[in-house]
Amino acid sequence: MNIEEKIRKNAGTFDDVRMPAGSRERFMKELQRDMMRHAFTTNNVRRLRVMTWTSVAAAAVTILMVISGMITDGKISTKSPQVADNKLVEMRQFYDEKMDDAIMNLEEVMKNVDDSTRTQINSVIDGLLNMGDVFAEMAPLPEEKQMAMAEQMYDNKLRTIELITKKINK
């Protein structure tokens, strides 16, 4: 006969026995720890499921993009919006090179900066480099207007990077 069977058969003898002092508190603390571990584990399982499904979805989108690229053989379909004139593309390439040079200069200067400042500056630079859908929004505008707006945006971004570099050099 094992201990569980003994306890079940003689349950009545344990009814009048008092718990030792502090047992209830230790039991409640252990119960709370177990409940917190369970909640933590449950949240991790949920996060893992979300990340798994997100990864599966991203993989599916990537596969679809690769397949569609293979089908179209790298050609842009006539249904997609047309890219702006070569002048705008050339201007973007010119300014992208200037931005890259300015960022390289800034990175040289940032070698002497503490980590928190470097992180803040990098977030500002990321914001400056993120053009998002700005050019897509400008597409319906006349070419001269697109060129002027793009030039002004790039000039402002370059000035910002140069000001940051000068400020750090002081």
pLDDT by residue (tens digit) across 145-163?
Answer: 878 887 888 888 888 888 8
**Buried b / exposed e along 39-66 (16+ C-beta atoms within 10 A):** eeeeeeeeeeeeeeeeeeeeeeeeeeee
Q: In the chain, pLDDT over 70 holds for what percent of residues?
A: 86
Q: What is the pLDDT of residues 6-31, one digit of tens each?
A: 888 888 877 777 777 888 888 888 88
Give the pLDDT confidence score for residue 84 in this predicted structure. 44
**Cα–Cα distances in angstroms (integers) from residue 90 to residues 83, 128, 146, in the given order:** 12, 20, 13
- Statement: residue 45 has pLDDT above 80: no
Tell me the mean pLDDT in the region 63-88.
64
Rounded CA separation 43/40 (Å): 5
Q: In the chain, pLDDT over 90 holds for what percent of residues?
A: 0
Give the pLDDT confidence score for residue 85 in this predicted structure. 53
Highest-confidence segment of 31-45, 51-65, 127-141: 51-65
Maximum alpha-carbon separation in the chain: 96
Rounded CA separation 167/165 (Å): 5
Give the pLDDT confidence score for residue 102 in this predicted structure. 82
Tell me the mean pLDDT in the region 93-101.
83
Give the pLDDT confidence score for residue 76 in this predicted structure. 54
**Cα–Cα distances in angstroms (integers) from residue 10 to residues 2, 5, 7, in the given order:** 13, 8, 5
Structure pTM?
0.44
**What does pLDDT average to over the chain?**
77
Contact assessment for residue 150 and residue 92, using Cβ atoms and an 8 Å cutoff: yes
